[in-house]
Structure 1
């Protein structure tokens, strides 16, 4: 089986006994990724077993993926979604990496910095389009083309609240799932943490893959402290 990452390809036939995941982070971005110990075969096998048991996986991602600068495409050329393994993906990031990777079942919980939202009428446009208008109107600030309202990035900033409809939609996807994976998030922000509380109430098993402790460690089946790219690149979608 071949798993795609933006910076390399790996031909894998399962995790061999005693195998350790090795660094998959480009040299130029090592400084952005926290130090972590090398994950051992036992931790890999335990996480692989968790993935293998799941049939409708609910995934929450955070900055731990983005810091590796090019998220690992653990769909294995679409096999994760084709097999129905990943039921829904929720990201707290606003950088559009998951949508660029081609994920279909995706909720950007905090919005996307590549979109612009009109605070007056709700019209949505591309950030790139607004940048062109900035260049043409500078030093003025362009208003919404539909109603003349104030524009802002379609992002939930600190102090803002996530749209209620989005939260309800994600809760509904969680109810449909049979396992939860948290990848690269410490869950210190309630907007994502709330879904771990809900998963615990619904007795949905949870695994966390993150460097360092998280706010939901007490709610999980187990936690693996390692880099997401190194681990997800050797996990099989079956």
Structure 2
């Protein structure tokens, strides 16, 4: 079976490249989005674009094309294969993920995350669905929502980077597993610490995977699952608790995402090309139910030209705070939580071409743990 990374249909991309996007004027964009969300009971669907200002790279650029066509992700069936070949895939994946986890774990919400959190706190957005696994929506609202409330009002469509589980269902926190990887691979722990001292940022994908050069994975140790060892079996088939390329979302998540669209009055989609079908079908479901749909994204998306879908093209960070102000009115001044949210957020967009601050991890640099043979 041939597996490939989801992408925008070629016809849509071709049409977009023939006609470069014209950004919606700022004042018009604020007005259109504010009028759309003001009635309330809005479901929100977000993608990688909302996390870019936090320093998390998106998979696709503003022209809709895959930004790293040479990147070869590990697919689900490769990672879970219980064979020497599968073990080799897990060595490759977990070494790269070990290096890439720290930068993703340290990211902070940007103004878009906080603006959406403000709309949630204000009761305008009862349900938020995100394709992102970075947990930034949760970080933005955790000062006012406890974990139970977050679980009820937020759905991670593709899972989370902060948990792992083995093929027999034993689950662990990602920080715990990171420490196991460090203990099992002391040379790579030292290498990671050296990178941190030098301020080197690896080229990291949204799922925490990094670019590695001149590296052999042969001696990287993937720990066995302690839960399985306690049950008398050896098993190192462990994966992050998010959906890999080639893997389907669970039936429970699919049903809940559909119910979210059904229980709300309108769908606000932002920061996504909708290349993955698990997200695109939610927009289609809303259109089929004759619910208003607004798409806020710069560049082409899979839904371009669809009847029933209104589109605004402008970066979310340029308008969303003002949208919240227009929707909640004076509450933005007298509600201390709203006021604080609208003043919060980092703006640290990733550099796509700065070799001095961000580079592939090269095992030939200062403390080489291993080198290719």
Which TM-score tier does this pair reach, normalised by the shorter chain? 0.7 to 0.9
Instruction: Provide the C-alpha distance between the structure 1 equivalents of 2:126 and 2:116, rounded to a whole number of angstroms.
Output: 16
2:32 to 46, 54, 58: 46
Distance apart, 1:75 and its partner CA: 5.4
More strand by share: 1
Q: Give ranges in structure 2 of 5+ residues lacking alignment.
A: 1-20, 55-108, 143-149, 186-219, 230-234, 329-373
| More contact order relative to length (CA 8 Å, sep ≥ 6) | 2
Instruction: Provide the C-alpha distance between the structure 2 equivalents of 1:126 and 1:158, rounded to a whole number of angstroms.
Output: 22
Contact preservation (8 Å) 2:29, 2:319: no
Instruction: Provide the C-alpha distance between the structure 2 equivalents of 1:143 and 1:39, rounded to a whole number of angstroms.
Output: 55
1:141 aligns with 2:222: yes
Instruction: Provide the C-alpha distance between the structure 1 equivalents of 2:174 and 2:22, rounded to a whole number of angstroms.
Output: 35
2:242 to 146, 155, 162: 155
1:119 to 144, 167, 171: 167
Instruction: Provide the C-alpha distance between the structure 2 equivalents of 1:220 and 1:231, rounded to a whole number of angstroms.
Output: 23
Please provide the CA RMSD for this pair: 2.2
Distance apart, 1:173 and its partner CA: 1.5
1:180-235 Cα shifts (integer Å, max 9, x gaps)? 11110010110100101110111110001101121123144421111111121211
What is the match of residue 265 of structure 2?
178
Instruction: Provide the C-alpha distance between the structure 2 equivalents of 1:145 and 1:102, rounded to a whole number of angstroms.
Output: 33
Question: For this pair of structures, how many residues does the alignment match?
Answer: 202
1:61 to 46, 49, 54: 46
The 10-residue stretch of structure 1 (73-82 or 206-215) with the greater mean CA deviation from structure 2: 73-82
Instruction: Provide the C-alpha distance between the structure 2 equivalents of 1:208 and 1:119, rounded to a whole number of angstroms.
Output: 37
More helix by share: 2
What is the match of residue 63 of structure 2?
none
TM-score by length of 2: 0.51
Instruction: Provide the C-alpha distance between the structure 2 equivalents of 1:52 and 1:77, rounded to a whole number of angstroms.
Output: 13
Contact preservation (8 Å) 2:114, 2:140: no
TM-score by length of 1: 0.77
* Structure number with larger C-alpha Rg: 2
SS in 2 for 1:117: strand
Instruction: Provide the C-alpha distance between the structure 1 equivalents of 2:43 and 2:300, rounded to a whole number of angstroms.
Output: 20
